[in-house]
């Protein structure tokens, strides 16, 4: 009788260990799946961020080029055109050039 009970006890103990091991494996498998999903999500975010960064760098380069062109235009205007503006004949009685009467 004791041998039968002892044998049943060992069988039950083995079943508990097996069940605990299965639960542990299932939990680990779930955690691995969650980690893989997190890595996939982070890689997608990184890829989107890199694309956005490339767009921003291109926009920055275009803006810097525009600024350079405008600075160059202002420098040319200051050197070449400002002298002409200062010596342009203007009569206080006539007013601006656009208000001058047309000659027919």
Read off the pTM: 0.54
CA distance 17 to 15: 5
DSSP string, 12-52: HHHHHHHHHHHHHHHHHHHHHHHHHHHHHHHHHHHHHHHHH
Question: pLDDT digits over 4-57, tens only?
Answer: 766 777 677 777 777 767 777 788 888 888 998 999 999 999 999 999 999 999
Q: What is the pLDDT of residues 63-101, one digit of tens each?
A: 999 999 999 998 888 887 777 766 665 655 555 555 555
Q: Do residues 100 and 94 lie in contact, with contact meaning Cβ atoms separated by under 8 Å?
A: yes
């Amino acid at each position: 009788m004791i041998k039968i009970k002892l044998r049943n006890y060992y069988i039950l103990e083995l079943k508990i260990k097996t069940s605990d091991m299965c639960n542990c494996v299932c939990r680990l498998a779930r955690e691995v799946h969650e980690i893989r999903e997190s890595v996939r999500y982070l890689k997608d975010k990184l890829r989107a961020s890199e694309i956005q960064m490339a767009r921003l760098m291109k926009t920055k380069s275009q803006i810097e080029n525009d600024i350079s062109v405008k600075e160059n235009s202002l420098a040319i205007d200051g050197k070449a055109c400002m002298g002409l503006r200062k010596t342009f004949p203007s009569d206080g009685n006539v007013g601006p050039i656009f208000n001058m009467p047309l000659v027919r």
